Chain A
Amino acid sequence: MTKGNDLTFQPFNDSTTGKLHRAFSFSRVLAITSNTLTELTRLRVFYVLLVFGLLLIGSSVFMAQFSFQQEFQILKDVSLGAISIFTSLLAIVATARLLPQDIEDRTVYTILAKPVPRFEYVLGKIAGVLLLLAISTLVMSAAFLAVLYLREQTVIQTTLKQLAGAPADQVNEALKLIRSSAFNIDIFPGIIIIYLKACLLAALTLFVSTFATTNIFTIVVMAFIYFIGHLEATAREYWLQEHSSGLLTRIFLAIIALLFPDLQAFNLVDDIVAGTAISMAVFAKTALLGIFYTTIYTLLAAFIFYGREL
């Protein structure tokens, strides 16, 4: 080891960091975010899930083909379903390990022993996961759109061959029908909602992991929440049919809705597949709901972690 007499290393002074401590520092959050993203992208589970998602999207090409409308419907149904399931799985699995792992490995001590507020630590961690989910959603969506485009082109070529010599109006009509069956603009808001649902699940997982003692506990709790969240709307309708919608009932249902977000509300895939237009109001309402839940659960996670003994 160097004795260090020739080094300029000196004890702390104000010129070292150059400025006074700031209550919130974007660069500190960014450091934790980029480190979290590096950590997650070096996990095997990320690649396994991504590859499975891409394989499912790719294989949807070979599924039942009665007519091109049915083919495009199945392609969209399977692909958007795959994106939704794999981003949700990734959100839960990737987030569940973040805090418990850092606490178990004691890396959290070295981070929080620096001038880093706990809120920034939690924010940096969740931002890293949201970035990873955005990358995964983009990659899978790009694969899905590429497959859809290639199939559309194949169908167009086949149709052009079949309609060789037919009147131009008939050809144009056929091509218009193919294009409208393949692409509709609602695919994009649908993908954004799928991403927001994954963000919500990541924030909820982070919240659960702040008081959980193991990763397995967090994943099991999240699996329950996932299923309850998807069945909740049906159960609520049944409850309201059976019981009067009094004040107590409504308060009870509101508490349930806060604890278990209605994940079925984020399922716009059926509408996209059926070709039903997603209204701007529905999109905005669902997107706001996703952002609201993600923010609330992140704040709750930060609050619980703030008071936690390490």
Chain B
Amino acid sequence: MTDSPRRSPTEAGPAVAVHGLTKVFRVPLHPSRGIVAVKELNLRIEAGEVFGLLGPNGSGKSTTLKIILGLVSPTRGRTEIFGRDSRLVESREAVGFLPENPYFYKYLSGEETLRFFGRLCGLRGAPLKKQINELLDLVGLTKARKRRLGTYSKGMLQRIGLAQALIHNPRLVVLDEPTAGVDPAGSREIRDLILDLKSRGITVLLSSHLLAQAQEICDRVGILSDGVLVREGRLQELIAIENQTELVIADASTHLVNEIESVINRSKAKLIECRKSTTTLERLFLEATAKNDEARASDDQGIAKQKP
């Protein structure tokens, strides 16, 4: 940002590459003291994958994302987006960003917001109009397109935020806590959209401290603690317990279960737990609220039919 960045001749390579990144924030009036936000971070995110940057609050996730986006300059090291130094403004042509708890201009409608961000990306005229229509459809805000953002709910703001991040069809989407403060239904919609982006070949880099959600959507994760990358790799490999195996059987009789248990007991293996499979609390919540919504809708229809 402040230094003159090294230009890369090609756009080949990983979607994001982080080399020896360190960020120290200076303490005002104490130039010799500093707060280390990120320390010697190395990261490589391949094109087309969903990468989760996980960690507790203050672990350096947002700072890392801001450095990748050129909003903050690194103290040491460098970051690249598709082979371009991320301090170069043009590296952001391929990136869409949704910050944590975004506040957009309240006086603009959803459509005006997308038009503004589209114009910033060099779009105009019919292609911009088409893109706005498609994105409003994609995030389910077509009906609210003329409403001012001041009247949007938290979930709607998050979705219009996603739409603006996608306005110029980026190859990389960076999401900082994309489901923070969003209810389970809205959260699921955003998660589905991330998976949809992945199916279109778009690389997604997201930061989160909602581990269950990250587990559902991430191909690979990196765990930051006090600015240091303490774990990194494919999610399934990281969470697998090497010496344990799970069997999930449908319609098993008690006899069959007893048989399996006795086979295990005869071998050198040890049965740790035998229990009924459970659904997730989120799935239970969504099913319950969906049924409630359906019942309310059919009640409304019944009342409407009774009216002359």
Distance in angstroms from B53 CB to nearest chain A CB is: 16
Q: Which residues of B contact A19 (CB under 8 A)?
A: 122
One of A24-32, A74-82, A187-195, A292-300 contacting the partner: A24-32
Q: Which residues of A contact B144 (CB under 8 A)?
A: none
Q: Tell which of B1, B73, B98, B120 touches A114, judged by Cβ atoms closer than 8 Å.
A: B120
- Given A8-B134, A9-B138: A17 touches B123 (CB 8 Å cut-off): yes
Interface size classification for chain B: 35 or more
B93 and A17 contact, CB distance less than 8 A: yes
Distance in angstroms from B45 CB to nearest chain A CB is: 15
A107 and B105 contact, CB distance less than 8 A: yes
B66 and A310 contact, CB distance less than 8 A: yes
B192 within 8 A of A: yes
- Given A12-B169, A12-B170, A115-B90: A27 touches B71 (CB 8 Å cut-off): no
Docked Cα-Cα span, A1 to B124, in Å, equals: 26
One of A34-42, A142-150, A196-204, A218-226 contacting the partner: A34-42
B134 and A9 contact, CB distance less than 8 A: yes
B189 within 8 A of A: yes
Question: A-B contact count, CB below 8 Å?
Answer: 140
Which of chain A's residues 109-129 have a Cβ closer than 8 Å to chain B? Answer: 109-117
- Given A310-B66, A310-B71: A12 touches B97 (CB 8 Å cut-off): no
Q: Tell which of B71, B89, B116, B161 touches A115, judged by Cβ atoms closer than 8 Å.
A: B89
B169 and A107 contact, CB distance less than 8 A: no
- Given A21-B93, A110-B99: A306 touches B1 (CB 8 Å cut-off): yes
Q: Tell which of B94, B102, B108, B134 touches A38, judged by Cβ atoms closer than 8 Å.
A: B108
Q: Which residues of A contact B96 (CB under 8 A)?
A: 113
Question: Can you name the residue of chain A whose Cβ is closest to the Cβ of B95?
Answer: A113
B297 within 8 A of A: no
A17 and B121 contact, CB distance less than 8 A: yes
B43 within 8 A of A: no
A residues with a Cβ closer than 8 A to B are 1-4, 7-13, 16-21, 25, 27-28, 30-32, 35, 38-39, 42, 105-107, 109-117, 306-307, 309-310
Going nearest first, the 8 A-B pairs with the smallest beta carbon separation are A113-B97, A21-B90, A31-B119, A105-B103, A1-B140, A17-B122, A109-B99, A12-B169
14 contacts between A and B (CB under 8 A): A1-B159, A1-B189, A4-B137, A4-B196, A7-B137, A11-B171, A13-B169, A21-B90, A28-B120, A107-B104, A113-B99, A114-B168, A115-B92, A116-B120
